[in-house]
Amino acid sequence: MITIWGRTNSHNVKKVLWLAEELGLDFVRHDVGGAFGYPDDYISKNPNRLVPTLEDGDLVLWESNAILRYLAAQYGGEAFWPLSPAQRAVGDKWMDWQFTLAEAQREAFLGIVRMTPEARDSAAVEKSLSASARLWRMADEALGRSLWLSGDGFGIGDIGLGAYVHTFFSIGGDMSNMPHLKGWYERLQQRPGYARHVMIPLT
């Protein structure tokens, strides 16, 4: 049995839960991080005091993208882990680029979701949304050439950014000039695992 440790409102935990459901895996999840804190037995598994952590048999693994790669390679078959390194790299670059996007979007997310209106730095929020939009346009251009960031079909390259596009939309990001991104977001919403694990309240 696979065990996933992490609170459900963490973007990085959402990614792992979503992929686990896409792969039809049986797993259990335990709340850790944020308001739940980091118990000593968790810190012994992940000394970073971050989430998620995955246990699969004797394997204890942290870093969300490493977990995604492991699950895809171990359980996903060629649909999620293509035999061709070049084909895998198409989605791989977007999966890691997600952290560039996340950093740009961070101030808007914290200001709108984590702060009261009185404490919010509106200028920082607008700057963050603008920076995020510039980056999202890169994804929009790529999605104008292919329906999925992973290539011809849905894959792990779509999961990292997929967790963040819902946030972008939810905090007021403007997709009106990004039709390909909007279409991709709409396709993601049709996936049960996305609806269940990503499209949840941000708080």
pLDDT in tens, 63-83: 999 999 999 999 999 999 999
Please name which of 101, 189, 97, 99 lies closest in space to residue 149, comparing C-alpha atoms: 97
Portion of the chain with pLDDT greater than 90, in percent: 94
Q: Which fold has domain 83-191?
A: Glutathione S-transferase Yfyf (Class Pi); Chain A, domain 2 (1.20.1050)
Measured CA to CA, the distance from residue 49 to residue 187 in angstroms comes to: 34
Portion of the chain with pLDDT greater than 70, in percent: 100
Residue 202's pLDDT band (cuts 50, 70, 90):
confident
**Mean per-residue pLDDT, 10-15:** 97
Does the pLDDT at position 23 exceed 90?
A: yes
Q: Which two tokens stand for residue 159?
A: 């999961």
Q: Which two tokens stand for residue 149?
A: 């960031």
Residues of the chain with CATH 1.20.1050.10: 83-191
pLDDT in tens, 114-143: 888 888 999 999 999 999 999 999 999 999
Residue ranges in the chain assigned as alpha helix (H): 11-22, 40-43, 64-75, 77-80, 85-109, 122-143, 156-170, 179-189, 192-197
pTM: 0.95
Residue 99's pLDDT band (cuts 50, 70, 90):
very high
Q: Which fold has domain 2-79?
A: Glutaredoxin (3.40.30)
Measured CA to CA, the distance from residue 201 to residue 187 in angstroms comes to: 20
Spell out a b/e string for 78-88, using b for 16 or more CB atoms within 10 Å of the CB, else e. Answer: eebbbeeeebb
Strand order in 27-30's β-sheet? 27-30, 2-5, 53-56, 59-62
Measured CA to CA, the distance from residue 153 to residue 102 in angstroms comes to: 24
Task: Decide: residue 60, CB within 10 A, 0-12 exposed, 13-18 middle, 19+ buried.
Answer: middle
**Mean per-residue pLDDT, 25-50:** 97
Measured CA to CA, the distance from residue 95 to residue 71 in angstroms comes to: 14
**Mean per-residue pLDDT, 37-43:** 96
Does the pLDDT at position 203 exceed 80?
A: no
Residues of the chain with CATH 3.40.30.10: 2-79
Spatial contact of 9 and 21, defined as CB atoms under 8 Å apart = no
